[in-house]
Amino acid sequence: MTWSDFTSLSPRQALNRLDSNQSGLIPSQASARLSRYGPNQVRSHQVLWQQILIRQFTSPFIYLLVSAAVVSGLLESLLDAGIILLFVFLNAALGFLQEYRSDRTLKTLQKYLQSYSLVKRAGQLVRIVSPNLVPGDILVLKPGDILPADVRFLSLSGLVLDESALTGESAPVGKTSAALKIIGLDMYQAQNIGFAGTSVVKGRAEAVVVATGTDSSFGQITSLAQSSDQVSAFTTDLTRFSRFVLRLVIATLVILFVAILILKGGSISPVSLLVFSIALAVSVVPEALPIVMTFSLSRGASRLAKNQVLVKKLTAIEDLGSIQVLCTDKTGTLTENHLSLAGTFSISASSPSVLAPLISPSGIVSLPRTDMS
């Protein structure tokens, strides 16, 4: 069952559907359900250090450099081959160290961000780690709590939630425990459902857990985001440049081979001509380019780290640096979660305090220090 199936049920019907009651589950029930449904946590994509290392060699430009090193080795230019491979491995080492360090830092932070929930178990209020929540648990909510799972409210008093983490809308949402006349299929219709990731602004409530982990709405959104492996603009541009260099190398090889063959005629051995053309074409490849790019991106990651920004992939830095204009919704969820009135420009001499209610019905607006009307 999904959360929408509980919107039209009364609190008693919801409890019966989950084989629970107002006193909460007994320990044996909770243990059995934990084994059945698994821990209440989103199964994040685990990245092994071997995967991070292999990722450093998957660039099309790296393929081109390795090919150049192989050709140089076949032509007995061992010094050239060694230098090219040295650049390849230095580039891989720099990228691996930066991404591996970021991955370890993120995992360490996740260990410290352990959350707890207040639930009823066998009629007693107990505080448990949120990953141990199971469907049917009775959750007790108070101001400041972040909902650890999708819940159906059983009883409440003036409950207001902040759902901006899920919907992007910062306006507080009032909730009810009454059954809806029709099944609420959309989140904005689910007035008696609390979603994982949202927080309690004010009021108190008791609710029964209906979905946990990846079965929750937040878990499904997170799983969908993790399943989409998007190619960054930096990788796309690098691939395009690699293809250009490859075409240039092939064109240079063909033109030189044909030109010298026409000019020299039979005075030069075809094998010697082929060796010379390939050696010259290999010299066109900019071996130091990957390590220069990785070093520049690593410098950017270090500067961002000083401002408490964790970079998981180095290629994301170039995408971030390409942003000229960032357009966001007016909800202000990226800032202080409320509107700020920077200034007013009007024909009449209306003060900011008069104009504020027109901008936000709640009147919760930061006013400017001076009136620019």
Just list the catalytic residues: 329
* Rounded Cα distance, 161 and 203, in Å: 9
Stretch (H or E) spanning 312: none
102: left (phi over 0), alpha (psi -120 to 50) or beta: alpha
Q: How many CB atoms lie within 10 A of CB 272?
A: 10
Q: How far apart are CA 97 and CA 101, in angstroms?
A: 6
d(CA 200, CA 160): 6
User: Which runs of consecutive H residues, i.e. helices, occur in 38-130?
Assistant: 49-55, 60-74, 78-112
CB-count burial class (<10 Å; 0-12, 13-18, 19+) for 144: exposed
